[in-house]
Every structure is written in structure tokens, then in C-alpha cells.
Chain A
Amino acid sequence: MKKNKRYLIWVILLCIIVLSSVFAPFISKYNPVEVKLGNVLQRPGAGHIMGTDAMGRDVFSRVLYGGRVSLSVGFISVIISTIIGIIYGGISGYSGGKIDNFMMRILDIFLAVPTLIIMLALQTIIRGGIVSIILVIGCTAWIPTARIVRSQFIELRDKNFVKSAVVMSTPLWKIIIKHMLLNSMPAIIVIATLTCAQSIFMEVSMSFLGIGVPPGTPSWGNMLNNAQNDIMTGAWWVAVFPGITIVISMLCINFIGEHLKKKVTYV
């Protein structure tokens, strides 16, 4: 019972973060992109809760608006990667045999390549734009999902209810969707949660390296990228507050994922 409550805390925290970035205009009165050069690098205080950055922009409202970008990149790309993973893992797991073996070899190859480096290469082509970064992350983060779906499908294929469905000549799509996919859904949700944290992490890292979200748009990674120079002058707040927000939201998602994982014992 006590464990259950602890997991609720993380859900509530995540909701607060998501809602406050959705309703950012109502919470912060400052424009996140408005440059005020008379107001540069203000310490956190009454006017600006989290201070201002090197261009006089309010850090608090940038954190809120940045959450919109970073979180939506994470959530949307996880949908893409889950769909790709389900299709790939599903085909591989359901067909089995040589096809399965071949598809898994390809996965091994993908696994041997550092994702961040493939992203670097990909991002040089479709540089700029939030859409392109969502696509890049979505198209590179599907491997764990594919593996889980495959192992689920292989396990389910040998279950008696699937076998009897085959005997009763149930249409193939019905077997795959109603029996296999629905039964692997708990495992897929767990892995999607963990991939979501990973995707946000990726967006933040890429923007931090300057190859992610376009520099003008506020995102958590971009803020940290800008902060690199400012901290040398002692302006710790420009780095600390966006970072803490990232850590808290990652913690929420990861702990929720852990909790779900414990519930779904066979993952």
C-alpha cells in the first residue's frame, strides 16, 4: 500500500510539470523570447523567480515554454518509435525461423552503433525544425521496443489460446491484433515509458550539442547549451534550474516506468 502511494507522488509531479508547460502563458507573465538587454543575468529574486539569462530573458518562463518543446518531442517520438518497434518486432516474432534470425542480426548491427552518432549524421541532413528532430529520435529509438515485442510474440505464439484460434481459422489480423498485440500491451507500455525518458534525454543532449531544436526556440537542452558560457561568469541559475526540471521529469517518468515494470512481472 505504501509503495502504491509513493508512485502516485511521481504521477502528480509529472502532471504538474506537463500542465504548467501547457498553461505556460497563464503562469508566467514574461515572454520567453523577449530580449531585454537592460536586465541581463539577474539573480533569482522577486521579479524573476529563476533569474534572467545573458540576453535578459526570464529563465522561469523559458523553462515552462521549453518544457512544451522538450516534452512534446519526447512524447511524440515515443509514439513513432513504438509503432515502428511493434511492426518490426511483430513481424520478426510472428514469422520466426529464418526471417526472425535475419531481422535480429540487423538489429544487432543497429545496436552496435552509438545512437547519438547516427543522430549526428542524420541531423546534418534534415537540420533544423522540431519535426525533423522528432522523426530522427523516433526512427532511432525503436530497437528495445522491437526486442520486447518480438519476445512477447514468440511467447504468445505457443500459447494454447492462440493455437486454438489458428485451428478455428480466425483471420490472421484478428489473431495478431486481438490475441497477440493486446496481450503484449502491458509490456509495450512499460518499455514505451522507459523509451519516453530516453527520448527526452536524447532531445536534451542533441540540443545541448547544438544539433537539436533550432537555437531560437526555448527548449531545456538549448537553455543548457546557452548556459555553458554564462556559468563561467558565476551565473549558476541559468544552468541549475532547467537541469533540475529535466532531472525531476526524468525521475517521474523513470519511477512510473519502474512501478509499471514491477506490476508486469514477465517483462
Chain B
Amino acid sequence: MISRFVVRRIIQGFLVIFCLSIISFAIINVAPGDPATALYGDLADRLTTEERNRINENYGADKPLTERYIKWVKGVARGNLGVSYVEGREVTTILKEKIPNTLKLVSWTISLILVCSLLLGLKAGFNENSFWDKFVSGMSVFFYSIPSFWLALIFIILFSVGNKNISGSGGTFSNLKYYIMPVSVLVIAHAGAYARFIQEKVKEEVNSHYVIAAKANGMDDRKIMKGIVKNALVPFINYLGITIPSFFGGSVVIETVFSWPGLGMLNVKAANSKDYPLLMGAIFMTGILVVISIMITDILQLVVNPSLRKQV
């Protein structure tokens, strides 16, 4: 049953998030540095031991690791991720401000990548040895080799320096023009690999026995194409699910370049300022977002692929 499959996936997702929280909590808490250092930076050395202890006690950083983890988990269950060392605000409030921005960026990017890669990949796959076929094969490796943040710098040089119309970064994000640069950089950097994947799958299907048999029986070309596309989509959705984590990872760099106030930039800022509750919360949220998007692709796969439906 599909519902049972979904429930199992959700349980698995929880397990992933649980493990992620343990790993990142352990990593972060082994790290040197305490709230006092985070708050005062280099000036922390001037604090007396008493002051230092008082600050650390305030943030509960003097307790043993397991106790802190249990406290953290209890807090999470109540929707409380702790207080940021540096900003002094609740981590949840900070996250609430940043998450929508990242979601907007990622969803725009993914939908545009889907459109571009499907168009290019199908065109290339169905016309073997044509110009498009060679174009996609060659260009995908080429674009795959370009670091997206360097492309972003080049875009800033070309369009942003001296030209204020297409801003690289800005304060308000209501305007669509702020999306143009980051989204197009991400799409250019990633669309090639996806197009390549679709192209290879379609080529495999075109040369497979069932297509030849269908053609020999005089089946309508359009119907054959429809079948091929459907069959090629199954591994493609799977591939999308596998690569989604790298999207959230990749957006870290892009957000930093364009000073996009999202989750990725928050991660970097928290790591650089040793603001551990914030870093922990940001990693945790990123993990949840990734798990949710993997789940969506899993369910999509189930919708597209009837043979998978029989298995579950």
C-alpha cells in the first residue's frame, strides 16, 4: 500500500534527522571555543575567569555533553532551538526569517533546471548524433567543471559592476530582478549534468528491444515517444532525489556571493563566528529540508513508476 510506504519513508526520514543531530551535535561540541569567545571574539582573552564562567553558565555550556544533548532534544520537541550566542535572539526566530529566502531560491532554481534539462535532454536523446546530442554531451562536462561561485563572480563583473539595473545583491527581496543572477548562475552550473542524464537514459530506451518491436509493429511514433519519456523519467527522478542535498550545499556558496539572506549564508556566518546553537539549528533545518525533498521525490517516483507501486 502506498500509505504504508509513505509511513515507512517518514520513519526513515526521522532516523536520518536523528542521526544527523547526534553527529553534528557531537562535532560542534568537541570544537574549541565557548559562548564567551563567540560573544567577545578576540577580546575574550581579557575576561576574568569568573566572568567567563558566568557567561558560560548562563548558556549552559558547563554541563556534560550528553546532558546538553538531551536538553537540546527536549527543546526541539517543544520547538525551541536555543538562543544564539552572538545575536542573543531565539534561533527559531532567526531561522524563520531565513528559510523562506532559501526555499524561494531553491524552488526557482529546481523548476528552471527541470525545464531546461528536460527540453535539452529529450531533444538530444531523441536525435542521436545530431548537433544537440553532441552539444549536450560536450557542454555538460564543460559546465560541470565550472565552479558556480566563480561564474557568479564573472556575472557580477559583467552585469553588476557599474550597472545598477541587475543588482547582484540587495536589501529587499520582493523584486524579481534580485533572482535573475543567482538563479541563472545555479541553472547554468547544474542544468548540463541533468540534461546529460536524461539524454543518456532516452538513448538507452530508444535502442532497447521493446521500442524496436513497437516500431516494427507500426505503432504510432508519438505513443512510443510517450512511453520512452515515461521510462526515462523514473531514473531521472531518482537522480534528482540523490542530488538534492548538493543543491542545499551549493546554495551555501551562491548565497554568500550574492549576500542572499538565506539558510546557507547563515550556516557560514554561524560557523565563522563559532555561534554553535545557531549553527546547530541551521544544520538541523537544512537536514529536515533535504529529507522532505527526498521524500517528495520518492513519492513522485511511486506515482510515475507502476512497477515500484507493486513492490510496496
Give the interface of A toward B (CB within 8 A).
108-109, 111-118, 120-125, 197, 201, 204-205, 208-211, 224, 227-228, 231-232, 234, 236, 239-240, 243, 246-247, 250-251, 254-255, 258
Contact = CB atoms under 8 A, between A and B. Distances in A.
Given A109-B15, A205-B253, A254-B141, A246 B271 contact: no
B28 A121 contact: yes
Given A121-B271, A208-B253, 7 more contacts: A113-B23, A113-B287, A118-B27, A125-B32, A228-B257, A243-B154, A247-B146
B256 A209 contact: yes
A121 B27 contact: yes
Contacts of B185: none
Given A124-B271, A205-B149, A224-B150, A251 B252 contact: no
A105 to B, nearest CB: 8
Contact of A113 (B33, B252, B290): B290
A124 B245 contact: no
Given A109-B19, A205-B147, A232-B161, A115 B249 contact: yes
A240 to B, nearest CB: 7
B271 A211 contact: yes
A120 B225 CA distance: 45
A90 B157 CA distance: 48
B3 interface: no
A236 B150 CA distance: 12
A208 B279 CA distance: 19
Nearest to A106: B19
B44 interface: no
A231 B27 contact: no
Nearest to B265: A209
Interface string B173-198: 00000000000000000000000000
Contact of A111 (B145, B161, B245): B245
A197 B147 contact: no
A124 B248 contact: no
29 contacts: A109-B15, A111-B242, A111-B245, A112-B16, A112-B291, A112-B294, A114-B252, A115-B249, A117-B252, A120-B252, A121-B24, A124-B279, A125-B27, A205-B149, A209-B256, A211-B272, A224-B149, A224-B150, A224-B153, A227-B153, A228-B153, A231-B157, A231-B161, A232-B156, A234-B162, A240-B157, A250-B145, A254-B141, A254-B144
A114 B146 CA distance: 19
A123 B33 CA distance: 13
A228 B147 CA distance: 15
A209 B150 contact: no
Contact of B267 (A117, A228, A234): A117
A262 B154 CA distance: 33
Contacts of A124: 28, 31, 33, 271, 274, 279
Given A228-B257, A231-B161, A234-B162, A117 B249 contact: yes
Contacts of A111: 242, 245
Interface in B61-116: none
Contacts of A232: 156, 161
Contact of B145 (A114, A115, A118, A254): A254
B283 interface: yes
A112 B272 CA distance: 24
Contact of B246 (A114, A121, A227): A114
B286 A114 contact: yes
Contacts of A227: 153
Interface string B153-172: 11011000110000000000
A254 B144 CA distance: 9
B281 to A, nearest CB: 12
Contacts of B286: 114, 117
B154 A240 contact: yes
B135 interface: no
A105 B246 CA distance: 19
A208 B256 CA distance: 10
4 closest Cβ pairs, A-B complex:
A114-B249, A116-B249, A250-B145, A243-B150
A109 B20 contact: yes
